């Protein structure tokens, strides 16, 4: 497999957790692994300028900094998470502070909330097209082609299970 996209990775995903720990640069919510050519993190539509064509394997994680599915962990009970360190990720309320047990419960309650707009929380409806563009990034790819892809994706039908 040469290209992989993980959208909204659960906090307990081993690879996602390992990338956050072993990052060579960047905050926890946007880890850079090595030179960033193989491992990429997509946060929002403004990230596409980082796309660099690659003939080698590319793994992209699409993860919103304010997605409780991505960052909820039992560690929140007694330990301040790195994602509350500066700089905060887009969409993380700057007034949010860590409190033992309270933050664990607060983020846990966010797990069951729904109805967030695109690119907020666990709503990744607007992210598939840009994540594909960041991962595949063929020569000559343009933002206009990404927008065409974004418009075309909802009309595709697929089966899960």
The per-residue pLDDT for range 129-151, each reduced to its tens digit, is 888 888 888 888 888 898 898 88
Radius of gyration of the chain (CA): 16
Q: Where are the domains of the chain?
A: 3-70+115-155
Q: Which helix (H) or strand (E) holds 105?
A: helix 102-111
Q: Which two tokens stand for residue 112?
A: 């069951």
Is 76 within 8 Å of 103 (Cβ atoms)? yes
Q: What percent of the chain has pLDDT over 90?
A: 20
Other CB atoms within a 10 A radius of the CB of residue 88 amount to: 16
Residue 101: pLDDT band with limits 50, 70, 90: very high
Other CB atoms within a 10 A radius of the CB of residue 142 amount to: 10
Q: Point out the least confidently predicted range of 10-24, 27-41, 86-100.
A: 27-41
Q: 3-class DSSP state for residue 42?
A: strand
Q: How far apart are CA 125 and CA 93, in angstroms?
A: 22
Cα–Cα separations (whole angstroms), residue 33 to 39, 55, 132:
6, 17, 19
Q: 3-class DSSP state for residue 44?
A: coil
DSSP per residue, 12-35: T-HHHHHHHHH-SBS-TTS-B-TT
The per-residue pLDDT for range 33-46, each reduced to its tens digit, is 887 777 777 776 55
> What one-character DSSP code corresponds to residue 49?
G
Name 76's bridge partners.
none
């Amino acid at each position: 497999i040469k290209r992989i996209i993980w959208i909204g990775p659960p906090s307990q995903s081993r690879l996602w957790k390992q990338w956050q720990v072993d990052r060579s640069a960047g905050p926890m919510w946007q880890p850079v692994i090595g030179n960033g050519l193989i491992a990429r993190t997509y946060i929002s539509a403004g990230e596409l300028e980082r796309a660099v064509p690659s003939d080698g394997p590319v793994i992209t994680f699409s993860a919103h900094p304010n997605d409780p599915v991505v960052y909820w962990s039992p560690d929140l009970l007694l330990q301040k998470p790195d994602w509350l360190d500066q700089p905060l990720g887009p969409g993380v309320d700057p007034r949010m502070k860590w409190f033992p047990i309270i933050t664990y419960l607060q983020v846990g309650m966010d797990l069951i909330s729904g109805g967030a707009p695109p690119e907020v929380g666990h709503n990744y409806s607007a992210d598939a097209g840009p994540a594909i563009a960041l991962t595949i990034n063929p020569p000559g790819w343009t933002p206009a082609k990404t927008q065409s892809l974004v418009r075309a994706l909802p009309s595709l039908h697929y089966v899960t299970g």
